[in-house]
Structure 1
Amino acid sequence: MFTLLAGRDRGTARDACSPRLMTAVPDTVQDHRGIQLTVRRAWPANNGRLTIEALEEATGHLRAGHLEADGTVALTPFGEDSALPGLPTAVDAGELLVHRFTKRAVVKTDGAYLKLLPPRKVARVIAAHAMASELTAAAGITTPRVTDVDEGTLTLSTVPGVSLHDLGRSGGGDPGDDLVTLERAWSLWAEHWSAFAAAPPGEGRLPFYRPEDEAETLTTWMTHCLDFGTLPVPAPALRSAVDDAANHLLDTSLQAPVLSHRDLHDKQVLLSTGSTGEGGLGLIDCDTLALAEPALDLANLLVHLAFREAQGLLSAEGRAVGETAIRGVAEELSVPEDRLDAYSGSTKLRLACVYAFRPRWRMLTRDWFHDALL
């Protein structure tokens, strides 16, 4: 049986020797000059602190920094990060989209994206992009290419198309036409994804992401929520649900692994239509490619659609279109229903824990958690 004692022990040890954040992630913070910012996302860090990403309400500038355990806010100036030396130059050239303090940043420019990383991580990411391009090409999938490198700044080619997420959002057009477009997009995804997953690379080229790894990832996020008090549900209920989900992952036979994205959701998949009507599929954020059971990616995508509906970002009809395509691919890849259920259960709880660190969605995660138990 998979137990959570290790996770509880780690949490108890941290509580005994380090401070705990006084409250859950706040909706807004102020910097030392009194500038008001809306907290967009947060991640657990060490010593009871959070790494935060926040928007200046007056300028829309994205800034990053830490929220200390005592509630003190420490934010860097816009476009600055000592661990990302190329960031000031990059923000002068485009729009800052992502800034996870000391970890990474993404800037959109005309015709390219700039990914800013600590210099020590550059070689690994370049290798990951090269392998992704090679492995996905056989399935007719386009991924970003590294076109230039300058210390910790990688220039990435754009991937044409519109994401499944954006296609699924209501755009004010005719609902019938929107659904037809969405059905075509999901059909194209299904056609390519079966080819992608059915031809895994040779052993030794990619890590094997096992059910034990997924259970450990879920347990880690549960521990974060317990340590920071972010998920508004009783701690015993969270521990019990995670324990059940982890055991479900481990109590049935594994399906043979296939090539997997490992973080597949509707924002990662882009669809485009050529001048002659043919369609193309693009895939981004491929740094985590691995071998895994096909249920891992399919469940992650399936559950994200349900969460988008709960967020009010996708209609029930749009969700149904995507689910039909995903389940069709699951059938084509002979995914057992119990494996899809196991990974879906884990993904539901993991999303609740991750989004509990995003103030806009924190209260939604309470209802989502209880729905996950049904």
Structure 2
Amino acid sequence: RRDETLLAAAQRSGALPGTVPVVAEADGVELVASVWRWPFDPVVVGLEDAVTPGRTDDLVGSITGARPAVEVIAYRPTERAVVRLTGADGAVAYLKAVPPALLPELVDRHERLLAVGLPVPEVLATDPVRGLVVLRALAGTTFRERIKADLPGWPAPAALGDLLERIHRADPTGLATRAGRVADGIGHAQLVAAVAPELGPALDALTTRFAAEAEAVAARSGVAVHGDLHEGQLIVDGEGSVTGLLDLDDLAVGDPVDDLATLIGHLRFRAGGLDVASPAAERLHGHVCALHDHAATLVGAEAIDVAVAAVLVGLATGPYRVQHDGWPERVAAVVADATALIEPWIDMRGFSAAPHDGLTVDPQSGDRHPLPLTKGRA
């Protein structure tokens, strides 16, 4: 007996080449899903070789030796995969697989950020036909791993702010333009409302506030942004120094507030899922609030509050997508946190800087309760 993993994806233009189409129909609408076996991704065509020992020795053999051990670190179907390769002597290299047409852009992004002194992995080798790139391993542990294990060495808010400012100094010429987190928040609010209609009033208020931010976002956009900066993308050492910046696939021209907001939003989301009585939760709460306060000094309190709220609405789609136990309560809590962030900047007449009273509104009952995060801007 052999266990196999099947994957599926859907697109507007029908089935992906080389996959098995599965057709479903509901309410007169036809959906075509493309199904394939791991690791035969129809778009990330180099994945099979990347995860098969010996198939990439031509690229990594000089670093790891022949037939290194293979460990899949991350995989987004039809988008990308990251594999850790470890040789018999312990030498490590990372192999990234992307759609071949996107490989030149990925290499270019690494070169741009290296040019401004950022600690991104050096590109050691590429295979344009298979869409494979070998990246130098970086010393340190991800910020996410340090949080989960409650290890010391968390980067200070000022250090993170400096890191992002250096990203924003990178040459934006030729990079794609992304709409930004605030615009994304509008679509995500619609998705959340579809599965949690009882949150409709709160989501409507958030959508209205996001739409009102469009002019401000457009005015401040135009610099290079990481595009997906969360705690898993930062490598840090035991002293809290950032020694690595990962996952440059979404580097684009956009809103400079987005990178701060994405990081803060992910940390707030993680903090909201912890036992509030635990030491780890208390430490993370304090760190998140200090970072949020620092962000407010850099980009303005209103800008960061609204953008973080938009990130949280996007993260609120997660518990339903993975069918997390108790997902309705978790989604409601995240939406309540987002709502609390926009409350200082909205009133019945429109938008204003009304003082925050430190309470959050239950989206179902209307009752007001202390926020989950009780320090700083939270």
Contact 2:172–2:252 (Cα < 8 Å) also in 1 = no
> Could you tell me how far 1:126 is from its partner in structure 2?
1.6
3-state DSSP class of the match of 1:299? Answer: helix
Once residues 154 and 196 of structure 1 are traced to their aligned partners in structure 2, the CA distance between those partners, rounded to angstroms, is 25
Distance 1:372 1:242 in 2: 8
Confirm or deny: 8 A CA contact 1:65 1:101 kept in the other structure: no
SS for the counterpart of 1:296 is helix
AA paired with 2:204? S
Q: 2:96 aligns with which of 111, 115, 123?
A: 115
Cα separation, 2, equivalents of 1:279 and 1:167: 13
Are residues 1:219 and 2:186 paired? Answer: yes
1:309 counterpart (271, 274, 297): 271
**What is the rounded CA distance, in whole Å, between the counterparts of 2:9 and 2:165 in structure 1?**
31
Tell me the equivalent position of 1:204: 173
1:126 aligns with 2:107: yes
Measured at CA, do residues 96 and 191 of structure 1 come closer, stay the same or move farther in structure 2, by a change above 3 Å? closer
| TM-score calculated relative to the size of structure 1 | 0.66
Q: 1:244 to 1:328 in 2, by over 3 A?
A: same
Give the 3 Å change call, closer, same or farther, for CA 341–76 of structure 1 in structure 2: same
Residue 125 of structure 2 is aligned to residue 148 of structure 1: yes
Match of 2:40 among 70, 74, 80: 80
Matches within 5 A, 1:158-197: 158-170=137-149, 178=151, 181-182=152-153, 185-187=154-156, 190-191=158-159, 193-194=161-162, 196-197=164-165
Indicate if the aligned counterparts of 2:236 and 2:243 stay in contact, CA closer than 8 A.
Answer: yes
1:288 alignment counterpart: 250
Q: For residue 6 of structure 1, what is the aligned residue in structure 2? A: none
Deviations 1:129-186 (A, max 9, x none): 2212223x1xxx3112221112211222222211111111245xxxxxx4xx24xx22
2:232 maps to amino acid: K
Alpha carbons of structure 1 residues 349 and 194: separation in structure 2 relative to 1, 3 Å? same
Q: How much does 1:202 deviate?
A: 5.1
Aligned to 2:286: 320
Structure with greater contact order relative to length (CA < 8 Å, sep ≥ 6): 1
Q: 1:191 to 1:72 in 2, by over 3 A?
A: closer
CA displacement at 1:34 relative to structure 2: 11
Residue of structure 1 in register with 2:209 after alignment: 245
Letter in 1 for 2:337: D
Say if 1:148 and 1:154, in contact at 8 Å, map to a contact too.
yes
Q: Is the 8 A contact 1:84 1:102 kept in 2?
A: yes
1:252 Cα deviation (Å)?
Answer: 4.8
Secondary structure at the aligned position of 1:288 is classed as coil
- Superposed displacement of residue 268, structure 1: 1.0
Bigger radius of gyration among the two: 2
1:4 corresponds to which residue? none
Distance 2:164 2:228 in 1: 15
Shift of residue 68 of structure 1? Answer: 5.9
2:74 aligns to what?
98
Partner amino acid, structure 1, of 2:143: L
Question: Which whole-Å CA distance do the structure 1 matches of 2:35 and 2:2 have between them?
Answer: 12
CA deviations on 1:89-133 (whole Å, 9 max, x unpaired) are 211231223333333222221212222122222222221222122
Once the two structures are superposed, the pairs formed by residues 11-90 of structure 1 within 5 Å of their partners are: 45-46=11-12, 69=24, 75-90=35-50
**Cα distance change, pair 326–205 in 1 and its aligned pair in 2 (3 A):** farther
For residues 115 and 36 of structure 1, what CA distance do their matches in structure 2 show? 23
Distance 1:294 1:72 in 2: 38
1:144–1:159: 8 Å Cα contact kept in structure 2? yes
| Secondary structure of residue in 1 paired with 2:231 | coil
What is the rounded CA distance, in whole Å, between the counterparts of 2:47 and 2:14 in structure 1?
Answer: 27
Q: What is the distance in 1 between the residues matched to 2:289 and 2:6?
A: 34
Instruction: Please give the root-mean-square deviation of Cα atoms over the aligned residues, in Å.
Output: 3.9
Kept in 2: contact 1:161–1:271 (CA 8 A):
yes
Alignment of 1:268-283 (within 5 A): 268-273=233-238, 279-283=241-245
In structure 2, relative to structure 1, the CA distance for the partners of 1:251 and 1:234 (3 Å cut) is farther
1:340 is the counterpart of 2:293? no
Q: How many angstroms does 1:265 deviate by?
A: 1.1
CA distance in 1, matches of 2:108, 2:227: 17
- Which structure 1 segments of 5+ residues have no match? 1-32, 52-63, 172-177
Structure 2: distance between partners of 1:257 and 1:73: 37
TM-score normalised by the chain length of structure 2: 0.66
Cα pair distance change 1:118/1:260, threshold 3 Å:
closer
Q: Contact 1:299–1:344 at 8 Å: present in 2 too?
A: yes
CA contact (8 A) 1:248 1:342 kept: no
Q: Is the 8 A contact 2:4 2:38 kept in 1?
A: no
CA distance in structure 2 between the aligned counterparts of 1:192 and 1:299, rounded to whole angstroms: 12
* Deviation digits for residues 227-280 of structure 1 (CA, Å, limit 9, x no counterpart): xx5x4334844761442232342365845765432211111111025xxx7944
| Shift in CA distance, 158/326, structure 1 to aligned 2, threshold 3 Å | farther
| Aligned partners of 2:5 and 2:37 also within 8 Å | no
1:249 partner letter: E
